[in-house]
Amino acid sequence: MESAAIKKDIIQQLQKEIISMQGHKAMVAGNRFESGLGVIENSFPNSVFPTGAVHEFLSDVQENAVASNAFISALLGRLAQENGTCLWIGNKRTIFPPALKLFGLQPNKIVFIDLKKEKDVLWAVEEALKCASLSAVVGELSNLTFMESRRLQLAVEESHVTGFIHRYNPKNIENLACVSRWKIKTLPSIQVKGLPGVNRPCWNVELLKVRNGTPGSWQVEWSNTCLKQVVAKPTMLPKIKILKAV
């Protein structure tokens, strides 16, 4: 019995080591990043939202792109905290700064970089990710290849800046070196008794891929400071069981 427990311990230790070698900073207790994502956090290794890594968001229409940007802004709000600065790089920016306050992000903490060409966006995102004094970088790119994403991931491994790549209407979807892939859609808001009209934003958050974690999808509502789940059971995709040959 004891040897089994010791083995389990050793295995857990090894897993943690592997994860940290793959680029996840080991979270010291007390230094945890509070992402406000609620139950979604459990999908990540060690149940911590990985900072210092590049996350990918896919969106197809403008209505869903807004939801992705809102989700990103919420995370930015947590990452920037008191004195941090974030960079938002894109080429056809439509973000309206006053609305960022609703997602907990002070709009004056963001420096927007509006470029004309998309390849400039990629270059700027890479340069920005190398700058360790930024809290986060958001890049609005449509197309990203595996090689490019790997360069971005290498950049953040040095600087520990969190990167978000928002791909609006991408032409090809291939496997990328990002640490997670999200797809967020809008959902009808939940009617609150006594409050007619449009209520708090609701989204269908799908975590399609996550490194060393479990993908899943959740239906959530944004309430001022954090995401709250609306549907009782999250639908986590079942772990793939490897069948033994008999």
Partner 1 sequence: MNTDKRYMAIWFRHLLTDRLVRREPELGNIPFVLAAPERGRVMIKAANPHARSIGIDLGMVVADCRAIYPNLEVRNYEPEEAEILLTGFAEWCIRYTPVTAIDLPDGLIIDISGCTHLWGGERAYLKEIVMKLRNHGYDVRAAIADTVGSAWAVSRFGQISPIIKHAEQSIMLALLPPTALRLESNVLERMEKLGFQQIKDFMDMPRSVLRRRFGKMLLQRLDQALGIENETVQPIKIAPVYQERLPSLEPIKNLKGIEIALHRLLETLCLRFLKEGKGLKKGLFICHRIDGNVQHIEIGTNRASRNATHLFKLFELDICNIEPDLGIELFVLEAPVVEDLSTAQEAIWKTSGGKDDRELAELLDRITSKVGMDAIHRYLPDEHHWPERSIKLATTLGEEPSTAWRKDISRPLHLLPRPEAIEVMVQLPDYPPIQFSYKGELHKVKKADGPERIEREWWLENGGHRDYYCLESEKGARYWIFREGHYESGLAKWYLHGFFA
Q: Would you tell me which residues interact with partner 1 (CB under 8 A)?
A: 62-67, 69-70, 73, 85, 94-103, 106-108, 110-116, 120, 123-124, 127-128, 130-134, 185-189, 191, 196-199, 201-203, 222
Q: φ, ψ for residue 150 (rounded to 5)?
A: -70, -35
Least separation in angstroms between residue 238's CB and partner 1 is 27
State residue 18 phi and psi, 5-degree precision: -60, -45
By beta-carbon proximity to partner 1, the closer residue of 11 and 190 is 190
How many whole angstroms separate alpha carbon 151 and alpha carbon 131?
A: 14
∠ CA 43-46-52 to the nearest 5 degrees? 90
Q: Which is nearer to partner 1, 166 or 181 (CB)?
A: 166
Inter-CA distances, 173 with 70, 152, 176, Å: 22, 17, 9
Nearer to partner 1, 54 or 176 (CB): 54
For residue 97, give every residue at least 6 positions away whose Cβ sits within 8 Å of its Cβ, in sequence order, or none.
Answer: 107, 110
Question: Of 32 and 101, which CB lies nearer to partner 1 in the complex structure?
Answer: 101
